[in-house]
A and B are shown apart, each in its own frame.
Chain A
């Protein structure tokens, strides 16, 4: 299992590096249209062929990976921060605060994730610029995805609140905010890290689902969800296998996160 984990780290590092350096090794801009070559198969000029608008698919995969791989962790960071604020602080304070925070968490958790995302996404303007659509999509994921993590962090903070060393620190006269910052939060770090890692693949998959349904990142900016929309015109596994490259990449990256997670969860 250790080797599998090392391979997962290596794969993630490679894909991340490749996507970060998209500007260096992508043969064309993601939006550049080769109008004389729409729907072309792989060639020396276009390693993964072109899409129906004549855009180089390899370049789009590189740029799309950058969007998904940078924005999903950003959304995960936001949701973990919110979870810490709601769950961690409520668990530490206890009493009425904790009950109110857990009621809000229950409310969020009782709504199926994709229904909630659709409902809130529809309340925001749909006809926006590509950059705004990235911000809207991933902000939404970050702002709505905190509930499950908050529950875990609340339980962790509650355990720490009742622990002997926190009681002793309080008896020594340490004030609430300082106690929280110096003793509670550092001890919650393994749980925070695990929740952060858990959120990344969830957000990558959610963006893919939203993108395929036409509610994710707007064209011409590519993301894994937008790239997977091409599968709607998929006709054959044998003759159009290169269209599956974004899917294979997504499965490999998400699986890598799951493999790495299986260890982090133990620490949490």
Chain B
């Protein structure tokens, strides 16, 4: 319980410091404070002055951040400049789309990676290992955006791009982890004594490698979320990744900062969830 509280406190600290950095960057970005409305010739000088006064409040960085933080705590994440809609509403619409895409991609990527890593390690043939490493190496060298373009051309499901972005990294970690585990003296002895491959895997390898595999699971969420940007942008999927891309092109900084904050929280939660699960597993096997 104390560990959980410590994790939550650390997460809150990271979000607060990250928010301050983001707010500072938004405040210092070129064009901050400029409002097209000030050029509207129909507005009187008093109205233009009132607009300037309203913007002047945001010039003080700590004040700007506190104001932003206060609104965020009340659930008001501001309004997107390019889409003219509340950020909260946009996130509520698009987050489930990205969650489904990333979830399916992670499952498929992990399935392929673990299967190939198991095959390469358990076959104990250099040719199998080399083949699996080559396959993973090729996908590691292709940008996710290129994969997305090729999948659009082939009319293949977009979640497979996420899977292919996650697969090579998970494969290389899993393969190295399994190879190390299979080389442990007690496992070599068990193998020499004729223990079946399935039993060896379930009873001896997975408890050793499980904790570290869970840590990789946390990292793979971050990889999948990163890959979601080109995939959604190029495959025309209305998710958070596409929103981030549109916000970047339109220099919609309030939207982009909120999106980055949200994705950071999701990544942190995934990493710490994986860490806690790993600690739980470690205590059980100890």
Contact = CB atoms under 8 A, between A and B. Distances in A.
Interface of A: 106-107, 110-116, 118-126, 201, 205, 208-209, 212-215, 225, 228, 231-232, 234-235, 247, 250-251, 254-255, 258-259
Which of A115, A124, A234, A255: most chain B Cβ within 10 A? Answer: A115
Given A212-B145, A213-B145, A228-B143, 6 more contacts: A112-B225, A115-B244, A119-B259, A123-B253, A228-B149, A259-B137
B30 interface: yes
Nearest to B154: A237
Contacts, number: 133
B174 interface: no
A251 B137 CA distance: 9
B268 interface: yes
Given A111-B260, A115-B225, A122-B248, A209 B18 contact: no
B interface, by DSSP: helix, strand, loop or mixed? Answer: helix
Contacts of B222: 112-113
A107 B248 contact: no
B173 interface: no
Given A114-B229, A123-B29, A251 B138 contact: yes
B17 A107 contact: yes
A111 B264 contact: yes
B247 interface: yes
What are the 9 tightest A-B residue pairs by CB atom distance, in nearest-first order?
A254-B141, A212-B145, A122-B248, A114-B226, A208-B143, A123-B29, A112-B226, A118-B248, A231-B149
A254 B139 CA distance: 10
A119 B268 contact: no
Contact of A213 (B17, B226, B230, B260): B230
B256 interface: yes
B26 interface: yes
Given A112-B225, A115-B225, A255 B141 contact: yes
B138 A255 contact: yes
B251 interface: yes
B34 interface: no
Contacts of A124: 29-30
B90 interface: no
Which of A113, A209, A254: most chain B Cβ within 10 A? Answer: A209
